[in-house]
Amino acid sequence: MQFAATQHARASDGLALAYGIAPARKAGAPRIALLHSLALDRSFWNGVVTAIDGQAELLAMDCRGHGASGQDAGPVPVRRMADDLAAVLDHAGWDRALVCGCSMGGTIALAFAASHPERCTTLVAIDTTAWYGPEAPKAWEDRAVKAEAGGMAALLPFQHARWLSPGFRESHPQVEAAADAVFLANDVASYGAACRMLGTTDLRQTITAICMPTLVMVGTDDGATPPAMAEEIARRIPGAVLQPLEGARHLTPLERPAEIAAALLRLVG
């Protein structure tokens, strides 16, 4: 199973939001909504879709400024990104779903679960954080400025050091190449807006009100959102479960799609 033809919803501000649905094999199957990492798009989830193999209905959107969605030079508060998912679910006719996000998508998923709790049956936050720390505004501003000055290619070596473990990069060069192609195609202004959103987001207090079942997953070698950040999310959300993925780096849906798929299916089974 893979995502069907692209559909477009409209955000509250009129921006086009692209998404695709991978159908389930049986009617009435559980529904899972997926949010990708910064500077990638919904193809980020292809390996997970393959591993789930029609046992659930999957919806993946291109976050604003990414993929086939409209460009947005910002400012973009995280609540707007969460509301975008609500608009996509409305367009697709989905009342609610398990909501799963990785990295930037995980931060958006946290905001969605807090602001639209009636639409989020279960929350899965992967390789992500509620807050990047006191130095985050400057660090993310520097990253945005680097892209604006030198294009997305200027950031690629930095990404390669963080995305995937060395062994996986060597044995699966096609996975990294596909991610590279999406990354390099990003609209630079929209990327800068997303960077600045991440640098200024602090959901530490917001997530304490989340009450749906929550799974927090993280690669044990993740240097971008280290395990300590995942541990803090799990501490702040009542009843949250933490699942480390041994030896993986920052983008575990690319590196460990079968394990991610198995976790999602356990939660909806």
* Domain assignment of residue 154, yes or no: yes
Query: Cα separation of 226 and 199, whole Å?
Result: 16
- Count structural domains, the chain: 1
For residue 173, being part of any structural domain is answered with yes
Whether residue 2 is contained in a domain is answered as: no
Cα(247)–Cα(244) distance, integer angstroms: 9
pLDDT in tens, 106-140: 999 999 999 999 999 999 999 999 999 999 999 99
Q: How would DSSP label each residue in 151-178?
A: -GGGGHHHHHHHHS-HHHHHH-HHHHHH
Q: Residue 227 falls within a domain, yes or no? A: yes
Identify whether 1 is part of a domain.
no
- What CATH number corresponds to the domain at position 237? 3.40.50.1820
Please report whether residue 141 resides in a domain. yes
Q: How confident is the model over 155-190, as pLDDT tens digits?
A: 999 999 999 999 999 999 999 999 999 999 999 999
Q: How far is CA 249 from CA 107, 142, 192, 245, in A?
A: 17, 23, 23, 9
pTM: 0.98
In a domain, 199, yes or no: yes
Q: Give all strands of the β-sheet with 7-10 in edge-to-edge order.
A: 7-10, 16-22, 57-61, 31-35, 97-102, 120-126, 214-219, 241-245
Domain of residue 156, residue span: 7-268
